[in-house]
Amino acid sequence: MLAEPATAAAPLVAIVDYGMGNRRSVEKALQRVGARTLMTRDHDELRAADGVLLPGVGAFPAAMRTIRELGLDDVLRECAARGTPLFGSCMGMQLLFEDSEEHGGAEGLGLLRGSVRRLNAPGLNLPHIGWNAVRWVRGSPLREGLPDPIHLYHVHTFAPHPADEEAVLGVTEYGETFATVVALGNIYGAQSHPEKSSAHGLGLLANFTKRCAQVIA
């Protein structure tokens, strides 16, 4: 599943550096699957990348506030509109949606329709921390070569509820069934931490890297 080490012809994946997320771990995971990486908040560097990965750990409102202050919201929307493959990881996936109810609510990037809501998990501990079996609900290049189900590592209290069924690629359960992998056009995301999810998480990132390579093919 893992790609060869990155070469000069490998796709360049820009990791959005806005101060929230496992940026170094994500960077190492992408390099392991064959991508060249650039950790940046520079607008022109993001625009020039073959793919963009938006990480995220923490609170949705604080993340969006920082993204807006840095002017990254418009840049990310521009990259998405141009067809650049964009992957949201963990809270970065949540930020792709229209809004979240966390801490009184906040608007997201709106690249995918739907809202982020607190997990409905009565009697279960929150945040949800652990490995979950993820079932595929349809085909996509993002799941190419991966078994059904796969197991991914999650750490979260909130989860997205896509308004478009066709955006849902993989689902899992913790109190309720929720979308944990999404794919719609050039927009992708995983509620889990792919960089901490062993071979299956690396498989997702490898397939995203292959999608980015198509930009320069």
195 is catalytic: yes
Q: Which of 128, 154, 193, 200 is catalytic?
A: 193
Q: Which of 90, 154, 156, 212 is catalytic?
A: 90
The answer to whether 201 and 192 are in contact (CB under 8 A) is: yes
What is the residue whose two structure tokens read 């478009």?
Answer: 164
DSSP string, 109-153: --SSSEEEEE---TTS-SSEEEEEEEEE-S--GGGTT--SSEEEE
Distance CA 178, CA 81 (A): 27
79 is catalytic: no
212 is catalytic: no
Neighbours of 189 (CB within 10 A): 30
Q: Which of 27, 79, 128, 195 is catalytic?
A: 195
Mind telling me the catalytic residues? 90, 193, 195
